[in-house]
Chains A and B, each alone.
Chain A
Amino acid sequence: MKNVLFTVVLSLALYTVSQAQDRGLEIAQAAEKADLGFKSSASNLKMVLKNKNGQVSERALEVRTLELVEDGDKSLIIFSSPKDVKGTSTLTFTHKNGPDDQWLYLPSIKRVKRISSNNKSGPFVGSEFAYEDLSSQEVEKYTYKFLREENNYLVVEQYPVDPKSGYTRRVVTYNKDAGYRIETIAFYDRKNALLKTLTYSGYKLYKNNFWRAAKLNMVNHQSKKETVLEFLNYDFDVNLTDDDFTQNALRRN
């Protein structure tokens, strides 16, 4: 009898755990699904880096993204300023499983270099964004646990699959009523201390379907540094194709 009770309790507990996992995964999938079908987009960004004393440094970038369904998205980032890196661009193929592929074109030597992509947890051009924060958010890159629902917000904890990730977990807040768009992400470092908070703001609905934030504000709570990403525009009519995301395309820009 005791054993039966124990089994029931255990299976109930397991059931609750797996239910939380399922619910978390469902939400992530719903978010992915809601954003399906944008095909390709292009936007211009301003990145503002701020240190503890408020010293500011700016960079300008252009980002192009190509939506892929069977594998992760492809993206191209072109630096327009500072002047000495103008024209430098990165090409990334995100993969649902395994490490991403990444190339960098250096106009100064007119060469494309492949970057060893074991490391993607480091800061992106000295900012508070890690490369892994900016790359395409594929569902397969995390495992999930649903935490709670607050009004129209769903809070899900996500655990990176990649052992080289800089995080133990992220706590993501989705907006159920607005295409499961992400409102905030809290990042916890390897010792499980709160490291950064990313806040999305200035959301606008494009093509009646796709929510895009105009501003991403990343605050590092440990170093007190801050980086703001401002999206100056979004173009969903660029009609980019696979040919625009090749090593040769890198050189062309």
Chain B
Amino acid sequence: MNAFKKIKNSANQFAINWARFVIKNKWYVFVSAVALTTVLGLQGVMKFDGDYHVFFSKSNPELEAFDALQEKYTKDDNVILVLSPKNKNVFTKENLTAIEELTTEAWNTPYSSRVDAITNFQYTRAEYDDLYVDDLSYDSANKTDSEIGAIRDVALNEPMLVSRIINPEGSVTAINITVNLPGEDSALEVPEVMNSIRKMTSEFQKNHPQFQIHISGMVPLTTAFFEASMKDMALTGIMLLIVILTTFILTRNFQSTLATLLVVLFSIVSTLGFVGIMGIKLTPPSSVFPTMILTLAVADSIHILITMLQKIRKDGMDRYGALIESMRLNFMPVFITSLTTVIGFLTMNFGDVPPFWDLGNIVAFGMTMAFLYSTTALPAVMAILPFKKVEKRDASGTSWFNFDSYLGLSSLVIRQPITVAVISLAIIGGLTYLSTKNSFNDEFINYFDKTVQFRSDTDYISDNLTGVYNVEYSIGSGESGGINNPEYLNKLNDFENWLYEQPEVIHVNAFSEVARRINKSMHSDDDAFYKIPDSREEAAQYLLLYELSLPFGLDLNNQINVDKSETRVTVTVKNLDSPSMIAFARRGEDWLRNNTPEYMHAIGVSPMLMFSKLGFRQADSMFTGNIIALVLISLVLMLALRNFKLGLLSLVPNVAPVLVGFGVWALYKAQINTGMVIVFGMTLGIIVDDTVHFMSKFLRARREYGHSPQRAVEYAFQTVGKALVTTTIVLLSGFAVLSTSSFALNSYMARITVVIIIAALIIDFLLLPALLILTSPIKKARKRYTSVLFYR
């Protein structure tokens, strides 16, 4: 017992000494804080990375497989320009001429390696013993109507074009520009490409107003990621306003508002320095860090300030005395809550998605700095700023909540603890069951909401022309040059046919199609020969002939490897959600396993598949992280409360809000994305504060005042009810701001966090007190010392 008393006293004394030191050296402390902020801030560099690769860790197997495929063939980052003529017919002289012109212009796109359009499609035809391979529409301006009619017939019957470059009605067409980005700095390369594309298309639109243009592809996706990062960063401004307003409303004091503003600004500027020093490139998930830090940091300041103002206004203490008292009461709680928040954010490192590692580390650093500044710069500023001596007031001048409602709530719980507990647990149970009904969906196009141009353009393309998602298989032949083996080609052909039978499939690009087409052309365009050649020699020699006939940039290197031992099958699919996407890719893999020799077995890869599996991968890897966070935070809690049983009991109000959150989400969207996987660890660090505050007050009433459980609950409500509501409101406003993001990884995460934080407060006000009453021994507890850490 004496030992605890000692700790209590020493902790007490430490906070008091700290506060005295800060007040005594207020100018030094303030200048040091400014200096530290400046030094760190000068290192601050904000670089953005929009490359979708950033979402995948180096060891991500899907990324490795996809990169290997791209290395084997060609790297295919692309821009797709979709042209919709107003007359709903691509095949007019005017339209074809315009498309031909734009196709030529598209070759000037920086880093472009290939341009596919309806006009430069390499149309293969036989004339006597000659093989003609030529642009489908060259010099369109001088074509006759009947020639254009013939071009239309060819195009709309060409499997390589329909549903890829042109829709079956011939009213919408695409120009696909493949770019080979050096990948040294996506922040420079991507804008270079996009600026060129935007200039080219606006010029085109001016000269040919009869076309509507929609732009999509992997490069615009990267641009959209960039722009999402910047946009979410801009939310910081709104959040800053909210911080100022909230602080002012809660404290009704100008000096406090200024001090809070300084603390959060110092924290953010220092964190910017951290970002610069660590060389972190910001991505949409990590670009929300300023808003998060603002939200979380302001809570620290508000606790300290409100107590100080209360001591001045209510108890009539002088400024320095109030400050020291406030620091004595709040130092440890602020430390504990900062610690749990830091632990929560750091657990993001357990995940498999690098942008969230960055977010976790940045916010953890920011919270550490916020703690530092809240306990140094904040009291220093409050000591420096002139303060009018306020008249002692009876009521707590800052309260704008109805005090009676807490009492109403507490009397309800006190009178009916069993009913409250049973009903709460039943609701939590029901929502927990519902939460299992959520399924992962990481359709990355849907990361952007409909206000984003990229999303609406991409939707237009999938509605009117082709799919935007694909799956690729690199299918081996087992030997060098083996792709000309008829056995291989026939199997490949079967696979192509099987794929076309699948309801999800829009288009298949397979080498078997090329082999069939050349064979037909080699036999005077006789349809009977639209099949795989009979012998390997024929196939190889036809291919040689065909390859010799292709122009610059339109070669087969993008679907045949150098050794001619493997070919690439690209399957364009409808918009599928992640589970269907994974299932589809697996069905293809299974078909290959069941119907082809072993060397033809392949796994499906694509950016969409990578994203589809990302959520599951993240959830698996975060599982350990979440358990560790739970254990660590529970330990901190047991230590803080100095009670093992209550530490265990706290698991209920700490875990239940997340289950409730996901249960409510199942009713709302039922689809969760990678961004939401992190909320368990993150919110745990945040909501645990509520539990800690409530339980510590309950314990204090039991131990120090010897109250009955019922009376102790009432005491807890009276003392911390308002503080909890206050912090909840600050947190809610922060995450509400984030939930307006147009980027779903951020907005969904923020929305579910809003639900979880509300749920946490409700649970702490209903279920927690009910459980405390029900689990407490009936006999009056002995008078004991309460927690070493909480004094309020």
- Which residue numbers of A lie inside 8 Å of B, CB to CB? 49-53, 55-57, 79, 82-85, 88, 90, 102, 104, 106-109, 111-116, 118-126, 130-131, 164-166, 189-191, 193, 222-223, 225
Query: Which residues of chain A have C-beta atoms less than 8 A from B557's C-beta?
Result: 123, 126, 223
Q: Establish whether residues A123 and B129, one from each chain, have CB atoms under 8 Å apart when the complex forms.
A: no
Q: Establish whether residues A125 and B547, one from each chain, have CB atoms under 8 Å apart when the complex forms.
A: yes
Instruction: Tell me the B535-561 residues at the A interface (CB within 8 Å).
Output: 535-542, 544-545, 547-557, 560-561
* Residue in B538, B548, B563, B564 whose beta carbon sits within 8 Å of that of A122 in the complex: B548
* A63 to B: closest C-beta gap in Å: 15
Sample of 24 A–B contacts (CB below 8 Å): A53-B72, A55-B563, A57-B563, A82-B540, A84-B537, A84-B539, A84-B540, A85-B541, A104-B545, A106-B542, A107-B537, A107-B541, A109-B538, A118-B134, A122-B553, A122-B555, A124-B548, A125-B547, A126-B557, A166-B553, A191-B110, A191-B112, A222-B113, A223-B113
Q: How far is the CA of A84 from the CA of B554 in the complex (A)?
A: 24
Q: Establish whether residues A119 and B563, one from each chain, have CB atoms under 8 Å apart when the complex forms.
A: no
Known: A55-B561, A55-B563. A122 touches B109 (CB 8 A): no
Q: Establish whether residues B108 and A190, one from each chain, have CB atoms under 8 Å apart when the complex forms.
A: yes
Q: What number of B residues sit within 8 Å (CB to CB) of A?
A: 48
- Which residue numbers of B lie inside 8 Å of A, CB to CB? 71-72, 74, 107-113, 122, 129-134, 180, 480-481, 484, 522, 535-542, 544-545, 547-557, 560-564
Q: Establish whether residues A122 and B108, one from each chain, have CB atoms under 8 Å apart when the complex forms.
A: no
* A196 to B: closest C-beta gap in Å: 11
Q: How far is the CA of A158 from the CA of B483 in the complex (A)?
A: 39
Query: Which residues of chain A have C-beta atoms less than 8 A from B109's C-beta?
Result: 191
* A109 to B: closest C-beta gap in Å: 6
* Residue in B71, B131, B484, B562 whose beta carbon sits within 8 Å of that of A84 in the complex: B484
Q: How far is the CA of A223 from the CA of B133 in the complex (A)?
A: 25
Known: A116-B549, A122-B552. A57 touches B540 (CB 8 A): no
Query: Which residues of chain B have C-beta atoms less than 8 A from A104's C-beta?
Result: 544-545, 548
Known: A55-B562, A113-B130, A126-B564. A82 touches B550 (CB 8 A): no
Additional A-B contacts beyond A57-B480, A122-B548 (20; CB < 8 A): A49-B562, A51-B71, A53-B71, A82-B540, A84-B484, A102-B548, A104-B548, A106-B538, A106-B541, A106-B542, A107-B537, A109-B522, A111-B129, A115-B548, A116-B549, A119-B134, A121-B552, A126-B562, A193-B111, A223-B557
Known: A53-B71, A108-B537, A126-B556. A84 touches B129 (CB 8 A): no
* B709 to A: closest C-beta gap in Å: 70
* Residue in A52, A102, A118, A124 whose beta carbon sits within 8 Å of that of B71 in the complex: A52
In this complex, what residue of A is CB-closest to B125?
Answer: A116
Q: How far is the CA of A38 from the CA of B713 in the complex (A)?
A: 107
Q: How far is the CA of A56 from the CA of B563 in the complex (A)?
A: 7
Q: Establish whether residues A112 and B129, one from each chain, have CB atoms under 8 Å apart when the complex forms.
A: yes
Q: How far is the CA of A108 from the CA of B484 in the complex (A)?
A: 13
* A12 to B: closest C-beta gap in Å: 33
Q: How far is the CA of A106 from the CA of B129 in the complex (A)?
A: 12
* Residue in B112, B129, B551 whose beta carbon sits within 8 Å of that of A166 in the complex: B551
Q: Establish whether residues A193 and B132, one from each chain, have CB atoms under 8 Å apart when the complex forms.
A: no
* Residue in A55, A84, A223 whose beta carbon sits within 8 Å of that of B541 in the complex: A84
Q: Establish whether residues B107 and A121, one from each chain, have CB atoms under 8 Å apart when the complex forms.
A: no
Q: How far is the CA of A165 from the CA of B134 in the complex (A)?
A: 14
Those 7 A-B pairs whose CB atoms lie nearest each other, nearest first: A166-B552, A121-B552, A84-B540, A108-B537, A119-B551, A122-B550, A114-B130
Q: How far is the CA of A211 from the CA of B133 in the complex (A)?
A: 36
Query: Which residues of chain A have C-beta atoms less than 8 A from B536's C-beta?
Result: 84
Q: How far is the CA of A104 from the CA of B549 in the complex (A)?
A: 11
Of A55, A114, A222, chain B has the most CB atoms within 10 Å of the CB of: A222
Known: A50-B562, A113-B131. A123 touches B555 (CB 8 A): yes
Q: How far is the CA of A82 from the CA of B565 in the complex (A)?
A: 12
Q: Establish whether residues B131 and A131, one from each chain, have CB atoms under 8 Å apart when the complex forms.
A: no
Query: Which residues of chain B have C-beta atoms less than 8 A from A223's C-beta?
Result: 74, 113, 180, 557
Q: Establish whether residues A85 and B555, one from each chain, have CB atoms under 8 Å apart when the complex forms.
A: no
Q: Establish whether residues A222 and B111, one from each chain, have CB atoms under 8 Å apart when the complex forms.
A: yes
Q: How far is the CA of A70 from the CA of B131 in the complex (A)?
A: 29
Q: Establish whether residues B561 and A51, one from each chain, have CB atoms under 8 Å apart when the complex forms.
A: yes
* B524 to A: closest C-beta gap in Å: 11
Known: A85-B540, A104-B544. A116 touches B552 (CB 8 A): no
In this complex, what residue of B is CB-closest to A105?
Answer: B541
Q: Establish whether residues A121 and B537, one from each chain, have CB atoms under 8 Å apart when the complex forms.
A: no
Known: A51-B72, A106-B545. A122 touches B540 (CB 8 A): no
Q: How far is the CA of A114 from the CA of B131 in the complex (A)?
A: 6
Query: Which residues of chain B have C-beta atoms less than 8 A from A52's C-beta?
Result: 71
Query: Which residues of chain B have C-beta atoms less than 8 A from A121's C-beta?
Result: 551-552
Query: Which residues of chain B have C-beta atoms less than 8 A from A107's C-beta?
Result: 537, 541
Q: Establish whether residues A51 and B548, one from each chain, have CB atoms under 8 Å apart when the complex forms.
A: no
* B511 to A: closest C-beta gap in Å: 13
In this complex, what residue of A is CB-closest to B542?
Answer: A106
* B181 to A: closest C-beta gap in Å: 10
Query: Which residues of chain A have C-beta atoms less than 8 A from B111's C-beta?
Result: 193, 222
Q: Establish whether residues B180 and A88, one from each chain, have CB atoms under 8 Å apart when the complex forms.
A: no
Q: Establish whether residues A113 and B522, one from each chain, have CB atoms under 8 Å apart when the complex forms.
A: yes
Q: How far is the CA of A51 from the CA of B555 in the complex (A)?
A: 15
Q: How far is the CA of A115 from the CA of B31 in the complex (A)?
A: 81
Known: A108-B535, A164-B551. A119 touches B133 (CB 8 A): yes
Q: Establish whether residues B542 and A126, one from each chain, have CB atoms under 8 Å apart when the complex forms.
A: no
Q: Establish whether residues A79 and B544, one from each chain, have CB atoms under 8 Å apart when the complex forms.
A: yes
In this complex, what residue of B is CB-closest to A119?
Answer: B551
* A250 to B: closest C-beta gap in Å: 13
Query: Which residues of chain A have C-beta atoms less than 8 A from B553's C-beta?
Result: 122, 166
Q: Establish whether residues A222 and B551, one from each chain, have CB atoms under 8 Å apart when the complex forms.
A: no
* Residue in B122, B544, B560 whose beta carbon sits within 8 Å of that of A85 in the complex: B544
Q: Establish whether residues B544 and A125, one from each chain, have CB atoms under 8 Å apart when the complex forms.
A: yes
Query: Which residues of chain A have C-beta atoms less than 8 A from B480's C-beta?
Result: 57, 82
Query: Which residues of chain A have C-beta atoms less than 8 A from B542's C-beta?
Result: 106
In this complex, what residue of A is CB-closest to B124?
Answer: A116
* Residue in A53, A112, A125, A225 whose beta carbon sits within 8 Å of that of B548 in the complex: A125
In this complex, what residue of A is CB-closest to B521?
Answer: A113
Query: Which residues of chain A have C-beta atoms less than 8 A from B535's C-beta?
Result: 108
* A244 to B: closest C-beta gap in Å: 21
Q: Establish whether residues B562 and A57, one from each chain, have CB atoms under 8 Å apart when the complex forms.
A: yes
Q: How far is the CA of A112 from the CA of B131 in the complex (A)?
A: 10
* B69 to A: closest C-beta gap in Å: 12
Query: Which residues of chain A have C-beta atoms less than 8 A from B548's C-beta?
Result: 90, 102, 104, 115, 122, 124-125, 131
Q: Establish whether residues A119 and B537, one from each chain, have CB atoms under 8 Å apart when the complex forms.
A: no
Q: How far is the CA of A84 from the CA of B481 in the complex (A)?
A: 8
In this complex, what residue of A is CB-closest to B109?
Answer: A191
Query: Which residues of chain A have C-beta atoms less than 8 A from B522's C-beta?
Result: 109, 113
Known: A114-B130, A122-B548, A166-B553. A108 touches B564 (CB 8 A): no
Query: Which residues of chain A have C-beta atoms less than 8 A from B541's C-beta?
Result: 84-85, 88, 106-109
Query: Which residues of chain A have C-beta atoms less than 8 A from B132's C-beta?
Result: 116
Q: Establish whether residues B133 and A116, one from each chain, have CB atoms under 8 Å apart when the complex forms.
A: yes
Q: How far is the CA of A190 from the CA of B130 in the complex (A)?
A: 29
Q: Establish whether residues A119 and B131, one from each chain, have CB atoms under 8 Å apart when the complex forms.
A: no
Q: Establish whether residues A113 and B544, one from each chain, have CB atoms under 8 Å apart when the complex forms.
A: no
Known: A51-B72, A106-B541, A191-B109. A82 touches B562 (CB 8 A): no
Of B71, B110, B548, chain A has the most CB atoms within 10 Å of the CB of: B548
Q: How far is the CA of A83 from the CA of B542 in the complex (A)?
A: 14
Query: Which residues of chain B have C-beta atoms less than 8 A from A79's C-beta?
Result: 544
Known: A123-B557, A190-B107, A223-B74. A82 touches B545 (CB 8 A): no
Q: How far is the CA of A126 from the CA of B543 in the complex (A)?
A: 10
Query: Which residues of chain B have C-beta atoms less than 8 A from A88's C-beta?
Result: 541, 544
* B121 to A: closest C-beta gap in Å: 13
* A125 to B: closest C-beta gap in Å: 6
* Residue in B74, B131, B549, B555 whose beta carbon sits within 8 Å of that of A126 in the complex: B555
